[in-house]
Amino acid sequence: MSLSSILYLFFLLLVFAVYYALPHRFRWSWLLLAGYFFYFTFHPLFLILLVVSTSVAYGFGRLVKPSQSRLLLGSGVGLLLLPLLFFKYYAFLNQNLTSLLGFWGHSSPFPSWAPLVPVGISFYTFQAISYLIDIRRGYLKPERHFGYFATYLAFFPTLSAGPIERAKRLLTQLHTPQPFRYENAVAGLQLIAWGLFKKVVIANQLAALLDPVFAQPQSQSGLVLYSALIFAPFQIFCDFSGYSDIARGSARMLGLHLMRNFDDRVYASSSRIEFWKGWHISLTSWFRDYVYFPLSKSLRSRTGLYMNLLVVYFLTGLWHGATWGYILWGLLNGLWLVAEHATKAQRQSFFRRLWPDLNAPAHRFLSTLLVFHAGALMGVFLRAPTVGAAGAFLTGLVSANRWEVSAIGGVKPFIPVVLGLLLMDIVNRRLNGRELPELLASYHGLPRWSFYLALCILILTFGRITDTPFFYYQF
């Protein structure tokens, strides 16, 4: 069940109505039932795996002690990672092992099999791991009620693609009675409408245009390839931030607050360091707290810190998927960040000779332009279906014979999407760090209802509320 489908909207309204009709002590069971039903709609076997992971995390959470139980913690984390490693990485590892052994004239002892990857397994596995680590660090007390803990991992808005919520934040809210508030219901619907606009008006339309280009880049003109290059980051942003808005809006209707997963104008970042502070925040903060900080705790050398940064972004790429394209994308981002950190003083000294004020609009514009294109070029390995397709895409970009003037007609289909992106950027500029409901609350009467009407017309006219999977479902 996709969060952008009509079925999900009816499902959410049913959950909402029954949730507030029940006394607080029964609400966890209703949310758990809703979460399990939601996950069951993807595949019945996925639900079994979720229940097993929940039981493992709950059981080890009761055994792990603060500042002790290192072996228990390692065992719990290892068991939680096993399903993820098997379902998501077995085929990739076995394929590469087969190729390596074949080079030496041997065959792999493991069967060739590509298991179906359960939706959201990377997200709820990371939530379960952070729960165990936080208990051992003394940040969190073990949850004694299995039902509440199961609800935390199976909370339906976050189950398929995050945000990766920390147990302390969400479990506390689940335990706290949430009375019906009209403002929460309205704010939730506003976020859902905004997320649907991003998803079905912009992201889905871009996906239809970009999928053929990335699948067969060798048959495209240079101008079409360049258009795909600059629009692909917006497709992924609108798709994933749209999902996050719908998820946060769904939770808000139930009186629960999820973390923000994206800065509103992260695509306008003037450095990749700034970009990664505002992109998929729940994942980047997870790797920061549970990988980078522990690895760097006793380090003093810059070289060691830079190596840890590369490790983190290698894992970030691998988390996204078991392909060399994702791994290359992660490593390229890590290398760029290391370069930004290592050359910061020299770059500032150089650019101050050109612009004494590094915050000058011209300097920020050029920095943003460079960083956006660098990110888009690295993102080809994320967006293209194979490394070979990514290579053909990049080769086509720099092939002089691909840039015929007659190919300009190939970019005309992108024009309607540009209008949607401009509308999104205008709203995001006005947000300026605020939530959308806060912005809309500052408008009254005609302006606010005009915005609602415009969103509805655009969604119904240019987009279709379908079961089209979100881009991050595959991760």
Q: Is the Cα torsion angle 38, 43, 46, 51 positive or negative in sign? A: positive
Q: Is 445 left (phi over 0), alpha (psi -120 to 50) or beta?
A: left
234 shares a domain with 121: no
> What are the tokens at 287?
């790797």
pLDDT band, very low/low/confident/very high, at 407 (cuts 50, 70, 90): low
End residue of a domain, out of 180, 209, 227: 180
What pLDDT does residue 411 have? 67
Residue 1 lies in a domain: no
Instruction: Please indicate, yes or no, if residue 457 is contained in any of the structural domains.
Output: yes
**Cα distance between residue 453 and residue 449, in whole Å:** 6
Angle of helix 121-136 relative to helix 44-63, nearest 10 degrees? Answer: 10
Last residue of a domain, one of 129, 158, 180: 180
Q: What is the pLDDT of residues 175-185, one digit of tens each?
A: 999 999 999 99
Please give the pLDDT value at position 94.
86
What pLDDT score was predicted for residue 416?
A: 82
Measured CA to CA, the distance from residue 296 to residue 386 in angstroms comes to: 33
> Do residues 212 and 98 both lie within one domain?
no
Q: Is the pLDDT of residue 107 over 80?
A: no
Of residues 411 and 100, which shows the higher confidence score? 100
Comparing 114 with 209, which gets the higher pLDDT?
209
* pLDDT at residue 114 in the model: 77
Higher pLDDT, 71 or 410: 71
Inside any domain, residue 200: yes
The per-residue pLDDT for range 9-64, each reduced to its tens digit, is 999 999 999 999 999 999 999 999 999 999 999 988 899 999 999 999 999 999 99
d(CA 381, CA 202): 22
Q: Are residues 136 and 271 in the same domain?
A: no
Who wins on pLDDT, 456 or 126?
126
For residues 280 and 412, membership in a common domain is answered with yes
Kindly state the average pLDDT of the residues 350-376. 83
Catalytic residue positions, numbered: 320
Of 475, 473, 385, 468, give the one whose Cα is nearest residue 201: 468
Whether residues 173 and 204 fall in one domain: no
Q: In whole angstroms, how large is the CA radius of gyration of the chain?
A: 23
Q: Which of 157, 180, 203 is the last residue of a domain?
A: 180
Contact 243, 124 (CB under 8 A): no
Query: Is residue 132 pLDDT above 70, yes or no?
Result: yes
Q: Can you give the pLDDT at residue 165?
A: 96
**Higher per-residue confidence, 347 vs 63:** 63
pTM for this structure? 0.92
396 within a domain of the structure (yes/no): yes
Element (H, E) at 449: helix 446-462
Is the domain of 261 the same as that of 368?
yes
DSSP 270: S
**C-beta of residue 36 within 8 angstroms of C-beta of residue 47:** yes
Q: How is the chain split among helix, strand and coil, in percent rounded to 5?
A: 75, 0, 25
Among 242-246, 276-280, 429-433, 459-463, whose mean pLDDT is lowest? 459-463
Whole-angstrom CA distances from 453 to 199, 203, 204, 422, 460 are 17, 20, 20, 18, 11
Position 475 scores a pLDDT of 57
Residues 79 and 27 occupy one common structural domain? yes
Q: 382 and 235 in one domain?
A: yes
What pLDDT is attached to residue 287?
Answer: 96
Number of domains in the chain: 2
- Same-domain pairing of 389 and 308: yes
Q: Could you give the count of Cα atoms lying within 13 Å of 220 in the half-sphere of its Cβ?
A: 27
Same domain, 281 and 198: yes
Query: How high is the pLDDT of residue 406?
Result: 53
Structural domain contains residue 99: yes
Both 131 and 205 in a single domain? no
Task: Judge if 187 and 148 occupy the same domain.
Answer: no
Domain encompassing residue 196: 183-474
